[in-house]
Amino acid sequence: MNIPPDSSSRAVLTALVGNSIVTTAKFVGWTISFSPSMLAEAVHSLADSLNQVLLFVGIRHGMGKPTPSYPFGKGRARYIWNLVSAMGIFFVGFGFTVYHGVLKLFESTSSSESVHMGWEPLVILVLSLVVESYTLWIAVDSINKSRGDKDILEFISVGDDPTVVAVLLEDLIAVIGVFIALMGILISRQMQSPVPDAIASIIVGCLLGMMAIILSIANGRILMGVSAGVDEETEIREFLESYPAVERVVSLKTAVMAPGSLRLAIEVEFHGGILINRPQIERDAERIRDGEDPAYILFETAERMVRTVGREINKLESDLIKRFPQIHMIDLEVN
């Protein structure tokens, strides 16, 4: 299998390997301790691992080339799979974890049973924290390579690659979740009460629910046809307005098709005076004065004008793509 060499793939695969190891360790820790926060973290890591498989499937699916059935390619498949991933996090990570945590909280408040827990779960959580921190570092490095001039918060809210954002949020919440689970278990040991452990489980679940909502919004906005953003559209408009053959930009719209891929729809008015070949028109007029058939000459002039406009459109599109390589599709209408 050929692995796509982009930063999203690197972040996803690193997180997948790391989470697979951590998931196994956390489930072992839970079977030893029966700690609700440890189970929450185990389910959290399992959900992350399964979701990273979905993210990678989305990357591969989104690389599909244009076909007669999909003439604009399959770039948005990545966002569909990301949305499925977010729903999985919400229902599995948030739903199960919070339910189990609330159940344990009610059981612990109605029971005076003391806490009997060895150090094994704590060791597993510390090792998990190391692994999760490494995958988080890889995700941050991938974000830094993709975000350009945007800061991280701006990239998360308006960026065109929610895949690497998903990995970043998963890894960030994984690190926070492990720390919360550690605190829950330590406080439960200190107080000899299972309540802090159960509360830690609920907090971890709520973090997962919040992440699922953020990812759903990030992917949904692109699937609905979000634009490239005001700054980028302004830059494209300024380029068009300064183009010698363009007199006025009547309309300009953009839509994100895939990470680093835009569709541009523009309506422009050309400078008629620039496109007209005045020496040729004068020669045509001279031919008419010399007695040649005016209808035939006017037909030649009109045909030549159509070819001139066609060449100018092709040149404009070529210059646009050269200046803005993220534009992969152009719908151009001459007003």
Domain of 127: which CATH number?
Answer: 1.20.1510.10
Picking from 205, 223, 241, the residue at the C-terminal end of a domain is: 223
**Which residues are paired to 191 by β-bridges?**
none
Query: What is the reported pTM?
Result: 0.70
Q: What are the backbone angles phi and psi of residue 109, rounded to the nearest 5°? A: -75, -20
Residue recorded with tokens 């960026």: 159
- Region for 229 from its dihedrals, namely left if φ exceeds 0, alpha if ψ lies in -120 to 50, beta otherwise: left
Query: Token digits for 62?
Result: 């989104």
Bigger pLDDT: 13 or 263?
263
Q: What is the layout of strands, in order, in the sheet containing 261-270?
A: 246-258, 261-270, 327-334
Alpha-carbon distance of 134 to 174, in angstroms, equals 11
List of E strands, the chain? 246-258, 261-270, 327-334
Together in a domain, 276 and 317: yes
Together in a domain, 161 and 290: no
**Residue 190 within any structural domain of the chain:** yes
**Which residues are paired to 256 by β-bridges?**
262
The total domain count for the chain is 2
| 58-81 per-position pLDDT tens digit | 777 777 777 787 777 777 777 888
Which of 26-30, 117-121, 244-248, 321-325 has the largest mean confidence? Answer: 321-325
Residue recorded with tokens 């098709």: 257
Q: What is the pLDDT of residue 115?
A: 52
- Of the pLDDT bands very low, low, confident and very high (cuts 50, 70, 90), residue 55 is confident
Name the DSSP letter for residue 95: I
SS3 99: helix
Together in a domain, 74 and 138: yes
Neighbour tally for 251: CB within 10 Å:
10
The mean of the pLDDT values for the chain is 79
Question: How confident is the model over 160-189, as a mean pLDDT?
Answer: 80
Together in a domain, 144 and 275: no
Picking from 195, 223, 251, the residue at the C-terminal end of a domain is: 223
Under 8 Å between Cβ of 102 and 141: no
Together in a domain, 135 and 100: yes
| 101-135 per-position pLDDT tens digit | 788 778 766 655 555 556 777 788 888 888 878 88
- Of the pLDDT bands very low, low, confident and very high (cuts 50, 70, 90), residue 2 is very low
- Closest C-alpha to 60, from 111, 117, 13, 108: 13
Together in a domain, 171 and 274: no
CATH for 322: 3.30.70.1350
**Nearest-5° angle of CA 73, CA 161, CA 91?**
100
Together in a domain, 14 and 114: yes
Count how many residues are written for the chain. 335
Under 8 Å between Cβ of 8 and 161: yes
Q: What are the backbone angles phi and psi of residue 4, rounded to the nearest 5°? A: -65, 135
Together in a domain, 258 and 176: no
**Residue 1 within any structural domain of the chain:** no
Alpha-carbon distance of 19 to 312, in angstroms, equals 54
**Residue 208 within any structural domain of the chain:** yes
Picking from 223, 248, 276, the residue at the C-terminal end of a domain is: 223
**Residue 193 within any structural domain of the chain:** yes
SS3 291: coil
Domain that includes residue 325, residue range: 230-334
Together in a domain, 329 and 208: no
Together in a domain, 213 and 249: no
Neighbour tally for 291: CB within 10 Å:
7
Residue 37 has pLDDT above 80, yes or no: no
Residue 4 has pLDDT above 50, yes or no: no
Q: What is the pLDDT of residue 127?
A: 83
Residue recorded with tokens 């997962």: 208
Together in a domain, 202 and 256: no
**Which residues are paired to 327 by β-bridges?**
262
**Residue 2 within any structural domain of the chain:** no
Residue 240 has pLDDT above 80, yes or no: yes
